[in-house]
A and B are shown apart, each in its own frame.
Chain A
Amino acid sequence: MDTRRNKSNNNKRQKIRQLPEKLAVIGSIILLIIAWVLGGARLSNLETEQLSHLLPENAQIVTTDQSTLKITTNAGQDTQWLSQGSGVGYGGKMDIALMIDDQGVIKQLAILSSRETASYLQKIIAAKFPEQMVGQSINNILQVDAISGATLSSSAILRGANLAAEPVRQELMNLSLVGSRSPWSYFGWMDLVALLAFAAAWQISKTRHPQRKKMEWGLMLTSLVLFGFYASALFSSSTLGILISGTWISGLGNYTPLILLVLTVVTLLSTNKNLYCDMICPFGTTQQCLAKITNPPTVTLKHSIFTWLPRVIFLAVLAAGLYFRNPATIAYEPFGIMFGMTGSIQLFILTFVIILTSLMIYRPWCKTLCPVGAMTDFLKFIKAWGKQGLKDYQRKTKTTSARPANNIPHRSLS
């Protein structure tokens, strides 16, 4: 009897102890929903106003299509076309608008919306990539060399411009040069490698082979080369933003980080194992390689601020990503600098600091600010909460079914 009472008291105490975390979980979900709703209203206003900038003064709209406007000015003497198209970049769809004259020459170009990482977009603008399309005739497919280091983003702009030009091309020249592309066509061989890497990590985590450590290192180094230096396809806070905002549905230039993220979440929820951090993350491997040099210890900072600050930062980044409909733009991880030398000066300094500290502390980024840590805590807590809730429910149903149906007090029977 006493044991049962103690158990019930312990349960109550645990529930009270977990209350702040439960409130934090509910609050986080509400905050993300609010950010999403407000962001939708903001985006619709913004795109409308940006389009208005492309229209000439005293323009008369002659015909309208779903994405194309025929415009006349000077009392019908000059004809121009305002047309929109979309390309798929690293973070998802990019909307491009073109103003084309009646000779089929591009007069103006605007990027109406982008979900690319800011530093990559800046790189493209600094290289004057969009300008190279202005002045080109649409009687051929528009062609500009992609910007090295921002290939996906520059290809997305080029494709968006070509798709925007297509209806005008058909109308003016009776030509059809660009076809539509299914979101599935963006899957590549690196996505298959991601699946294989996870399968290998799963097998290694189960094996008791004496060479297990070597196998782990083999997988880690392969991931470092492929997902790190070759494809720069690590998942980050922005990938989670892409996943929850649903921008991946219309296509992504690179699905590999999303696949890695989904597999991480699935294995975490089903087995409680974080295979990605243990054996696949290229940045984790980099820190581990550095740790091999000096063999530093793991240091844990115990104050709750060291647990909660990374979570708050992660939540703020996700909420801002949803509000601005651009999850990739506020990514704060040093991966871009480490594997692509692209990112802000702050992230460059951060990368340098992490590399230096990795020689003194074991995996400092992973143990402190990496968003995967916050995400793992969140998922594990949700899972435990769900399990507890299910148990409580089952216990309650058992008690209710064991009770007499009409609930008559015992003394009335005596």
Chain B
Amino acid sequence: MEKGSFRKSVAFAFFTVASGLVIFSGFNAVGQLSRTSDNLQPVYITQEQVETSTEQPAIKLNTEQWKKLDIIKDMTE
């Protein structure tokens, strides 16, 4: 194989692998963001969690609690 075509193959392989990694990492990040908004939590920490702290990360998903949207909407508007 000629040296020039070998370099081209390397460049092509690099482009394929790098763009694959970039796209995969992008999808991962978007997936993470979507999950975050679906579960309404980036970080939500209560004192109970701290007191009963375990090795689990301090993120609590809490979609069904206390729906007082009307009051809150008034406050945020």
Contact = CB atoms under 8 A, between A and B. Distances in A.
B72 A350 contact: no
4 shortest interchain CB distances as A-B pairs: A346-B25, A111-B43, A299-B11, A330-B29
Interface in B30-77: 30, 32-33, 37, 40-47, 49-50, 53, 57-59, 62, 65-69, 71-76
Contacts of B46: 107-108, 134
Contact of B50 (A49, A131, A306, A317): A131
A354 B40 contact: no
Q: How large is the interface on B (under 10, 10 to 19, 20 to 34, 35 or more residues)?
A: 35 or more
A347 to B, nearest CB: 6
A353 B26 contact: no
Interface in B10-26: 10-12, 14-15, 17-19, 21-26
B66 A55 contact: yes
Contacts of B76: 44, 47-48, 51
A368 B47 contact: no
A291 to B, nearest CB: 13
A284 to B, nearest CB: 16
Contacts of B32: 118, 329
A361 interface: yes
B37 A42 contact: yes
Contacts of A47: 76
Interface of A: 42, 44, 46-53, 55-57, 59, 61, 64, 69, 106-114, 118, 121, 125-126, 128, 130-131, 134-135, 296-297, 299, 301, 306, 309-310, 313, 316-317, 320, 324, 326, 329-330, 332, 344, 346-347, 349-350, 353-354, 357, 360-361, 364-365, 367-369
B54 to A, nearest CB: 11
A301 B15 contact: yes
Tell me which of A46, A134, A301 has the highest count of chain B C-beta atoms within 10 A of its own C-beta: A134
B21 A52 contact: no
Given A61-B71, A313-B23, 15 more contacts: A48-B72, A61-B75, A64-B74, A64-B75, A111-B42, A121-B42, A126-B57, A130-B43, A299-B8, A301-B15, A320-B26, A324-B37, A330-B30, A332-B25, A369-B19
Given A329-B29, A369-B15, A134 B22 contact: no
A362 to B, nearest CB: 10
Given A313-B19, A316-B26, A349-B21, A50 B47 contact: no
A368 B14 CA distance: 9
Nearest to A65: B75
B65 to A, nearest CB: 6
Contact of A49 (B17, B29, B69, B74): B69
Contacts of B74: 64
A37 B19 CA distance: 29
B45 A134 contact: yes
